[in-house]
């Protein structure tokens, strides 16, 4: 089998996961519109502060589990050790259940202690105190997501992303419906309760997603049992202790690296509060600016990165299986494909956000459209975050799970002095946090690339990965900006001008990349009407 066909298999997995990711992001955008218009930037600030704390506890309890479990299951399946693969699932379920329950209780108890401390010492006037109701509503979600992570990792180890994708879509639908309803129902008690209603929908969505995974597990049980019957049994059955140790050995560095990135959110929370105060901003303004940072910049800039997240998720078990079989050429082919597809999407996305930052916010949040400069300045971070995620996924796939954690630490440390200096400048203020985030991801992705090249000997195709997409994206950006200004001059309607500019941008980028011969046939076959597009490009000699 050719390297192209083998590397294409994980790309199909990534395509399924990426499609689901885009649907999830789209639903997320749709429900954040009424939510933001309901609770405003102040509510977004409260929501974000609570959610970032929850996210840290979630990372500590289960962030490394899907990767670790998919890595372990894929390796044992590749070697024909089906009984050991099945045992990995059982041990992981027990371990994750206990760990996630512990962190769920810890967060709930910690929130109660923090609330009592603030009220006792009259310290309720800070960014975190109004978020206590968000934290209470989110605590049970940690346990649910921990169990869900095991199922997702197990299925991904079989190199199928269908159950993960399906559960993500169902989870987000329930999340959207209940977040909006609960925020509306609780808003009458105050903005902090409205924000808590928005976070409460997260738990309902997680429960729905877990239900989908469990049903899928039951429906596919017969197929897996037939596969396990082919087990020759000519290997040693691993002990529960050995599996637990392996799980921890793989998961802990991943959790550490993810936690370090999560800590950058805490760095922003702490430094935004103190440094904006040093710049002369009052408390309410600080909360609103922090709400713009998390509710708008983070939400919008991470949407295109869902593609690289999907590719990274799919590439880990695929590369792990190739490594276990000693297929070095397959590993290099998969790395090249993953990097190229990630940049083909991330570079134009960054350029589009940079050009249309303010119009997009006016279109999405007509009642609270402030913060466009955050999108424009921070658009570059999309590229480096995508590079960081995909290179992290590849390194984890080849067994270098500690390396991304150390590189994430260096990136997080670089963020601190940039934050300290820039946020305190009144003319820069919250934009300083966006700039420091870009610096963080830039350093992390560079260090990951250096480690990747050293570990695999791979030499990325920089022309097709970076140069051609960048040239096409710059051309696209000019056409996008020009078309927006032209249509806005004629209509003075922002939503029409923005949507038209986005359509023009997609068309120009595709044509420009085709002229530069930036597409590869195996990639086009994975998109709708790919065969027809391939035929047209071949006809004009562009493929």
Contact 513, 537 (CB under 8 A): no
Question: Which of 430, 460, 490 is where one domain is finished?
Answer: 460
Q: 10: Cβ–Cβ under 8 A, 6 or more apart, which residues?
A: 159, 314, 315, 317, 318, 319, 334, 337, 338
Residues 251 and 396 in one domain: yes
Q: What is the pLDDT of residues 18-67, one digit of tens each?
A: 677 778 877 877 787 788 778 887 788 888 788 888 888 888 888 778 87
CA-CA distance, 447 to 460, in Å (whole number)? 15
Residues 252 and 207 in one domain: yes
Residues 398 and 529 in one domain: no
Length of the chain: 543
Contact 352, 505 (CB under 8 A): yes
Q: What pLDDT was estimated at residue 479?
A: 95
Q: Which of 13-22, 30-39, 101-110, 487-496 has the lowest mean pLDDT?
A: 13-22
pLDDT of 105 over the 90 cut: yes
Contact 343, 466 (CB under 8 A): yes
**By CB neighbour count within 10 A (0-12 exposed, 13-18 middle, 19+ buried), where does 250 fall?**
buried
pLDDT of 496 over the 70 cut: yes
Higher per-residue confidence, 55 vs 7: 55
Q: 39: Cβ–Cβ under 8 A, 6 or more apart, which residues?
A: 46, 47, 183, 187, 191, 194, 195, 198
Using DSSP, state whether 233 is helix, strand or coil. coil
Residues 421 and 532 in one domain: no
Q: What pLDDT was estimated at residue 7?
A: 46
Calculate the average pLDDT of the chain. Answer: 84
Higher per-residue confidence, 243 vs 262: 243
Residues 86 and 202 in one domain: yes
Residues 470 and 452 in one domain: no
- Work out the average pLDDT over 83-111: 91
Question: Which of 439, 460, 481 is where one domain is finished?
Answer: 460
The domain total for the chain is: 2
Q: What pLDDT was estimated at residue 6?
A: 46
Q: What is the pLDDT of residues 385-394, one digit of tens each?
A: 888 888 887 8
CA angle 241, 244, 245 (to 5 degrees): 85
Using DSSP, state whether 190 is helix, strand or coil. coil
Residues 450 and 351 in one domain: yes
Q: Which of 30-39, 197-206, 224-233, 288-297 has the lowest mean pLDDT?
A: 224-233
268: confidence class by pLDDT, cuts 50, 70, 90: confident
Residues 363 and 456 in one domain: yes
First to last CA, the chain: 22
Residues 152 and 272 in one domain: yes
Share of the chain above pLDDT 70, in %: 91
Contact 365, 291 (CB under 8 A): no
Residues 409 and 496 in one domain: no
pLDDT of 88 over the 70 cut: yes
5: confidence class by pLDDT, cuts 50, 70, 90: very low
Domain housing 540: 464-543
CA-CA distance, 227 to 215, in Å (whole number)? 19
Q: What pLDDT was estimated at residue 1?
A: 42
Contact 414, 335 (CB under 8 A): no
DSSP string, 479-504: HHHHHHHHHHHHH--HHHHHHHHHHH
Residues 73 and 145 in one domain: yes
Question: Which of 438, 460, 482 is where one domain is finished?
Answer: 460
Residues 487 and 399 in one domain: no
Q: What pLDDT was estimated at residue 79?
A: 82
């Amino acid at each position: 089998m050719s390297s192209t066909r083998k590397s294409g298999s994980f790309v199909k997995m990534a395509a399924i996961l990426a499609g689901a990711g885009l649907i999830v992001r789209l639903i997320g955008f749709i429900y954040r519109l009424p939510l933001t218009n309901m609770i405003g930037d102040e509510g977004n600030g409260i929501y974000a502060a609570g959610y970032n704390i929850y996210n840290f506890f979630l990372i500590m309890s289960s962030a490394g589990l899907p990767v670790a479990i998919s890595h372990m299951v894929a390796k044992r399946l590749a070697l024909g050790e089906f009984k050991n693969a099945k045992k990995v699932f059982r041990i992981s379920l027990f371990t994750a259940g206990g760990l996630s329950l512990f962190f769920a209780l810890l967060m709930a108890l910690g929130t109660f202690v923090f609330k009592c401390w603030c009220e006792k010492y009259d310290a309720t006037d800070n960014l975190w105190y109004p978020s206590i109701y968000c934290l209470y509503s989110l605590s049970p979600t940690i346990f649910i997501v921990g169990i869900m992570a095991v199922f997702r990792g197990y299925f991904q180890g079989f190199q199928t992303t269908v159950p993960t994708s399906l559960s993500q879509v169902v989870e987000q639908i329930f999340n959207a419906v209940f977040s909006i309803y609960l925020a509306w129902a609780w808003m009458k008690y105050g903005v902090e309760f409205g924000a808590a209603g928005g976070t409460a929908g997260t738990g309902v969505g997680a429960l729905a997603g877990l239900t989908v995974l469990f049903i899928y597990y039951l429906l596919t049980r017969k197929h897996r049992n037939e596969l396990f019957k082919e087990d020759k049994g000519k290997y040693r059955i691993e002990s529960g202790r050995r599996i637990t140790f392996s799980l921890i050995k793989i998961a802990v560095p991943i959790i550490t690296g993810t936690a370090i990135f999560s800590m950058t959110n805490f760095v922003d929370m702490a430094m935004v509060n103190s440094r904006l105060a040093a710049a002369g901003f009052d408390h309410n303004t600080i909360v609103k600016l922090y709400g713009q940072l998390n509710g708008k910049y983070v939400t919008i800039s991470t949407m295109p990165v869902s593609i690289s997240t999907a590719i990274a998720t799919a590439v880990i078990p695929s590369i792990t299986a190739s490594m276990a079989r000693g297929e070095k050429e397959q590993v290099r082919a998969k790395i090249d494909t993953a990097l190229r597809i990630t940049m083909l999407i991330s570079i134009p996305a960054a350029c589009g956000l940079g050009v249309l930052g303010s119009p997009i916010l006016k279109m999405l949040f007509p009642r609270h459209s402030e913060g466009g400069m955050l999108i424009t300045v921070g658009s570059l971070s999309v590229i480096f975050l995508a590079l960081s995620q995909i290179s992290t996924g590849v390194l984890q796939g080849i067994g270098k799970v500690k390396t991304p954690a150390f590189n994430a630490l260096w990136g997080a440390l670089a963020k601190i002095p940039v934050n300290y200096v820039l946020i305190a400048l009144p003319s820069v203020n919250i934009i300083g946090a966006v700039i420091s985030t870009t610096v963080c991801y830039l350093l992390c992705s560079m260090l990951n690339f250096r480690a990747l090249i050293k570990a695999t000997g791979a030499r990325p195709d920089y022309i097709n990965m970076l140069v051609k997409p960048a040239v096409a994206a710059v051309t696209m950006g000019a056409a996008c900006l020009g078309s927006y200004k032209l249509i806005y001059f004629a209509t003075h309607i922002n939503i029409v001008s923005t949507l038209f500019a986005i359509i023009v941008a997609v068309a120009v980028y595709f044509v420009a990349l085709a002229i530069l011969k930036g597409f590869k046939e195996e990639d086009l076959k994975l998109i709708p009407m790919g065969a027809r597009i391939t035929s047209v490009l071949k006809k004009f000699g562009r493929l």
